[in-house]
Structure 1
Amino acid sequence: MWSEAGFTALHEKVRAELNDTVVDIAKQVERILTTVFNINKRLKGRVDMSMALGLSDIKAQMNGLVYRGFVTGNGFKRLGDTLRYLQAIEKRLEKLAVDPHRDRAQMLKVESVQQAWQQWINKLPPARREDDDVKEIRWMIEELRVSYFANSSVRLILFPISVFYRPWIRLRPKKPGDDVFQSDPVQVRNKKEEL
């Protein structure tokens, strides 16, 4: 049971921290939206056909990162990561103009992981799809993009593709046949080798 003095003290502490948190969130959102604006400026205009697929992939990635309600949808704790992913997109744009074929090869690897993840997640019960450990894989794919497309100054983690399949095996549905990747290590190893 709360005393009036204890409640008032807690109320003031939370209110003070809340104001700081709101200001911090607003600053991060401003940086994110400024970065999105700068990227969108670079995406406008004539497009070299050799870069079209890469630019399309970038637009799709941005739509998944920044959308109406993204602060709530992604969570305010992901704002720093979101900015880093957008900065990686800026680096990717620089490299795309120099070597669109390398970009395409990297993009195919990411697409392969995304497709496998989508197949796997579609087989999960709908309620399970919203669990934090399942959603975390989506952010791992963003980290993969950073490691493929950005230079080391914005890279947080560099890890092998096999990292993606560990959570899928650990989190796989309980009924046999419900998972894209069965517990058979050969099947998992073969899938990793394809990538």
Structure 2
Amino acid sequence: GAERVAAAPVEQTGLTAWTFGDLPAVIDTKVAGGVVRGYPAIVDAGKSVSVRVEATPDAAAAATRDGVLRLVLLAVPSPSSYVQQHLTSQEKLALAASPYPSAAALIEDCRAAVARRVIDASTGADGQDRGVVRTEAEFARVRDAVSAVLVDELFACVSLVARILTKAREVERGIKSQNSLALLGPLNDIRTQLSGLLHPGFVAAAGVDRLAHFPRYLDGMIDRLKTLANEPGKDRARMTEFERMAVLFADAGGTIPLAPDAPPAIVEVRWLLEEYRVSVFAQRLGTAQPVSPQRITKALAGK
């Protein structure tokens, strides 16, 4: 309402560049009978950003991470069409069959994921929030860091995603080739696991670093499919073992795919569960970190 606007002269909308000077971490506004403290944030509005005052520092930091990412993506020319032209025909084929509406949308999501990784790596060194930028000079530094590596890192990310999608096809073929009713349970479990990993927006949701583990997760499914028909009893026992942990995760409020605002402990356990699947169903592949029911239970207790 009118009070809100009067209280926060810094608020602006429709910005496509850093034209608002340095952003204070806190704004105190005198109102009748006291002072109201607000926390300015840069807010992602899709094709632009807004500057808005939030009620808590956490809300301001969370919004600003996305706002800064959007401003960087607006400031750095997109090499997407260049990347698309230089893909191998096999990569083009893989990207055409993705959960995204188009290959262009998928590459754009890769661009966001790559930019996010570079922004996170370039900020947060002095105890500030990772991904949060408040000064124009700092923004210029971060934007240049993204610009310097974007083409190379985007190529690497897109070809990794093509590899992931090619393996996913292999998993789907493996599921289709088993037509025994007795295997319906495990086949549905593998299907659920696959759609939990590969959904629209999965690249930016997982992030570039986590994405590097996806080929191993898919290899785990392929391994499991190979042993399934010969040892259905063994698979059932392993599935019971895994489901115990999945239930704990769900009881703690965890979902797959993750909710955008999932707390850090839930995010950690979501990926621990993926590693736990590998250790239960495809041990020969190894895990990225030690994983056990104890470790999962402990991580959930810490949330």
Q: Find the residue that maps to 2:212 and give its secondary structure.
A: helix
Find the aligned partners of 1:104 and 1:30 in 2 and give their Cα distance. Answer: 32
Aligned to 1:51: 183
CA contact (8 A) 2:272 2:296 kept: yes
Give the counterpart letter for 1:103 in structure 2: D
Gap runs ≥5 in structure 2: 1-134
Pick closer, same or farther for the CA change 1:24–1:104 going to 2, 3 Å: same
CA contact (8 A) 2:224 2:281 kept: yes
CA contact (8 A) 1:144 1:158 kept: no
1:140 and 2:276 aligned:
no
Find the aligned partners of 1:97 and 1:138 in 2 and give their Cα distance. Answer: 28
Find the aligned partners of 1:158 and 1:42 in 2 and give their Cα distance. Answer: 29
Match of 1:33 among 165, 188, 191: 165
Aligned to 1:104: 236
1:164 and 2:296 aligned:
yes
Q: In proportion to residue count, which structure has more helix?
A: 1
1:23 and 2:172 aligned:
no
Pick closer, same or farther for the CA change 1:110–1:129 going to 2, 3 Å: farther
Find the aligned partners of 1:10 and 1:139 in 2 and give their Cα distance. Answer: 28
Q: State the 1:50 CA deviation.
A: 2.3
Aligned to 1:190: none
Give the counterpart letter for 1:86 in structure 2: L
Give the counterpart letter for 1:132 in structure 2: P
CA contact (8 A) 1:146 1:155 kept: yes
CA contact (8 A) 1:110 1:144 kept: yes
How high is the TM-score relative to the length of structure 1? 0.74
1:119 and 2:251 aligned:
yes
Gap runs ≥5 in structure 1: 172-195
Deviations 1:117-141 (A, max 9, x none): 111126xxxx996123321101101
Find the aligned partners of 1:138 and 1:82 in 2 and give their Cα distance. Answer: 13
Q: In proportion to residue count, which structure has more strand?
A: 2
Higher relative contact order (CA 8 A, sep 6+): 1
Deviations 1:132-175 (A, max 9, x none): 3321101101111000111323444453311111122222xxxx
Q: State the 1:46 CA deviation.
A: 5.3
Find the aligned partners of 2:227 and 2:289 in 1 and give their Cα distance. Answer: 19
Find the aligned partners of 1:128 and 1:34 in 2 and give their Cα distance. Answer: 27
CA contact (8 A) 1:147 1:158 kept: no
Give the counterpart letter for 1:47 in structure 2: N
CA contact (8 A) 1:96 1:103 kept: yes
Match of 1:77 among 200, 209, 215: 209
CA contact (8 A) 1:88 1:154 kept: no
Give the counterpart letter for 1:76 in structure 2: V
Q: Which structure: larger Rg?
A: 2
Find the aligned partners of 1:95 and 1:113 in 2 and give their Cα distance. Answer: 22
Q: State the 1:64 CA deviation.
A: 0.2
Aligned residues between the structures: 163
Find the aligned partners of 1:128 and 1:26 in 2 and give their Cα distance. Answer: 23
Q: State the 1:73 CA deviation.
A: 1.7
* Overall identity of the aligned pairs, in %: 28
How high is the TM-score relative to the length of structure 2? 0.49
Give the counterpart letter for 1:99 in structure 2: E
CA contact (8 A) 2:268 2:299 kept: no
Find the aligned partners of 2:178 and 2:247 in 1 and give their Cα distance. Answer: 30
